[in-house]
């Protein structure tokens, strides 16, 4: 069998789940695949057909990158259908204690241990997801060592007896408190206990990565040497923004709050979608974001109606005459009284201009003159309302009207062409409960308490 058109399999050494470990011969690129003079070594092959297998391979690849800093040499492939690592064959030997310690510390966050490692010339030689039986070096008889061998044999019998007793009555250790510690701190506490460690993944975006979130058994319990301790390490993955497209505003608000986000600015545009449903969000659905981040929404205000009438010329007419013509044209009028020296009740301005095509039911505005009135002192029950507001970007180029609504009705504070970032400020008197309203092109954009 030849894998990746280059590696001739000699022997299957181990397999479990998606992992196969082979002894193989690597032919140089461009050489025949049956070339017996190729490089011999270990081939770790992943069959990646599920998300779990892909995750296992990338964890293995991350461990190899950590070991490369200690001198590990390997051919690594992460191409679709070709997920593997090849380690050229080297004579195995025992590393120094310091090299061994550094290698095990590098592997601790990924769940690998000494049984998955091989060393050569005081450097890592290979890393396999499945433990391999390491070959023992061949020995030749040296008859000058027979007598020391007998002594060693006797000592071995003694140690075997002690080991026999210890096997059936293994030492117990107390499980330490590991929750809240880093992976390196946990490894330091466990490395001399004789316990096996199984690492699982958890997620809490509010806590640091590779922090121990949970452990089993809990701290304080006694475990026999060789038993397994399960640790859950935090991956600290950000929370994705929920998909809100097509949902009404109130439901979208609830979903954002449940996911830990805050509703930001709400804008509206004409659309074929039902009125009030979400068209888009910023950040988009699925984007990773931190809890508490603001999410802006774009809502539908319904489709644009076809124009079937037009705005009449109302300038110079009386208020009653203008309202009569607007009613005949099927238009909704908004009247604003403006103090003026002109005769009372005359139309001073109109929006939109005369002749503008409009759909029936559209709102229009007219300004009607009134005689200036003497401003009387505020009534005792009135109170001051301070306005300090900046027009949003959506106001650019649109007709803007800012009003104050209180017990006396709705009063215009500002009306004119909108400019993004234009500051509006003032101090006004209100009676009863007061609300501020901002209209863009006659449509209520925002309402709030001052």
* Per-residue pLDDT, 13: 92
Checking if the pLDDT of 29 tops 70, the result is no
* Per-residue pLDDT, 161: 58
Which pLDDT tens digit goes with each residue over 185-213? 998 999 888 899 999 988 888 789 889 99
Mean pLDDT within 35-47: 84
How would you list the strands of the sheet with 399-406, edge to edge? 409-417, 399-406, 435-440, 443-448
Which pLDDT tens digit goes with each residue over 132-163? 875 544 444 454 555 666 667 766 766 765 66
Mean pLDDT within 261-284: 91
Q: Residue with structure tokens 């479990």? A: 16
Which pLDDT tens digit goes with each residue over 211-267? 999 999 999 999 888 899 999 999 878 889 999 999 999 999 999 998 889 999 999
Which pLDDT tens digit goes with each residue over 304-361? 777 888 899 999 999 999 999 999 888 999 999 998 888 899 999 999 999 999 888 8
* Per-residue pLDDT, 158: 64
DSSP bridge partners of 317: none
* Per-residue pLDDT, 31: 53
* Per-residue pLDDT, 245: 94
Q: Say which residue, 54 or 149, is predicted with more confidence.
A: 54
* Per-residue pLDDT, 289: 85
Residue 326: how many other CB atoms lie within 10 Å: 21
Q: How far is 303 from 295, CA to CA, in rounded Å?
A: 25
Q: How far is 413 from 436, CA to CA, in rounded Å?
A: 9
DSSP string, 127-187: E-SS---PPPPP----GGGHHHHHHHHHHHHHHHHHHHHHHHS--EEEPP--TTSBHHHHH
* Per-residue pLDDT, 83: 93
* Per-residue pLDDT, 45: 94
Which pLDDT tens digit goes with each residue over 96-115? 999 999 999 988 888 898 88
Which pLDDT tens digit goes with each residue over 388-421? 889 999 989 899 999 999 988 998 988 888 888 8
Q: Which SS3 state, helix, strand or coil, does residue 319 take?
A: helix
* Per-residue pLDDT, 389: 87
Checking if the pLDDT of 56 tops 60, the result is yes
Q: 277: which DSSP letter?
A: B
């Amino acid at each position: 069998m030849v894998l990746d058109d280059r590696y001739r399999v000699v022997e299957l050494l181990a397999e479990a789940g998606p992992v196969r470990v082979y002894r193989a011969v690597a032919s140089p690129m461009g050489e025949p695949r049956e070339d017996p003079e190729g490089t011999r070594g270990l081939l770790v092959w992943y069959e990646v057909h599920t998300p779990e297998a892909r995750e296992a391979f990338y964890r293995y690849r991350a461990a190899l990158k950590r070991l490369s800093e200690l001198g590990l040499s390997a051919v690594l492939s992460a191409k679709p259908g070709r997920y593997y690592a090849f380690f050229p064959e080297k004579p195995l030997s025992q590393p120094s204690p310091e090299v061994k310690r550094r290698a095990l510390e590098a592997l601790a966050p990924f769940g690998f241990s000494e049984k998955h490692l091989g060393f050569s010339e005081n450097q890592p030689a290979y890393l396999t997801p499945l433990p391999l039986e390491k070959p023992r070096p061949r020995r030749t008889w040296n008859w000058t060592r027979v007598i020391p061998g007998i002594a060693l044999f006797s000592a071995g019998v003694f140690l075997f007896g002690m080991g026999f007793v210890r096997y059936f009555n293994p030492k117990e250790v107390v499980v330490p408190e590991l929750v809240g510690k880093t992976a390196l701190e946990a490894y330091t506490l466990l490395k001399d206990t004789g316990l096996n460690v199984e690492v699982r993944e958890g997620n809490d975006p509010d806590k640091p990565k590779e922090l121990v979130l949970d452990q089993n058994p809990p701290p304080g319990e006694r475990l026999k040497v060789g038993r397994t301790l399960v640790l859950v390490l935090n991956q600290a993955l950000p929370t994705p923004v929920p998909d809100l497209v097509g949902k009404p505003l109130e439901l979208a608000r609830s979903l954002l709050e449940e996911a830990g986000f805050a509703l930001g600015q709400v804008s509206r545009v004409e659309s074929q979608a039902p009125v009030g449903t979400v068209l888009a969000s910023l950040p988009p659905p699925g984007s990773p974001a931190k809890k508490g981040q603001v999410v802006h929404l774009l809502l539908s205000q319904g489709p644009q109606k076809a124009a079937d009438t037009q705005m009449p010329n109302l300038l110079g007419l009386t208020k009653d005459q203008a309202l009569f013509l607007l009613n005949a044209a099927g238009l909704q009028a908004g009247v604003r009284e403006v103090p003026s020296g002109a005769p009372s009740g005359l139309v001073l301005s109109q929006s939109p201009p005369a002749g503008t095509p409009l759909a029936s039911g559209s709102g229009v505005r007219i300004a009607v003159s009134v005689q200036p009135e003497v401003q009387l002192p505020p009534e005792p029950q009135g109170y001051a309302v301070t306005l300090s507001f900046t027009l949003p970007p959506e106001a650019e180029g649109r007709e803007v009207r800012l009003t104050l609504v209180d017990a006396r009705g709705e009063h215009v504070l500002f009306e004119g062409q909108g400019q993004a970032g234009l500051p509006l400020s003032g101090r006004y008197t209100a009676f009863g409960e007061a609300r501020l309203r901002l209209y863009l092109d006659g449509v209520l954009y925002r309402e709030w308490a001052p």
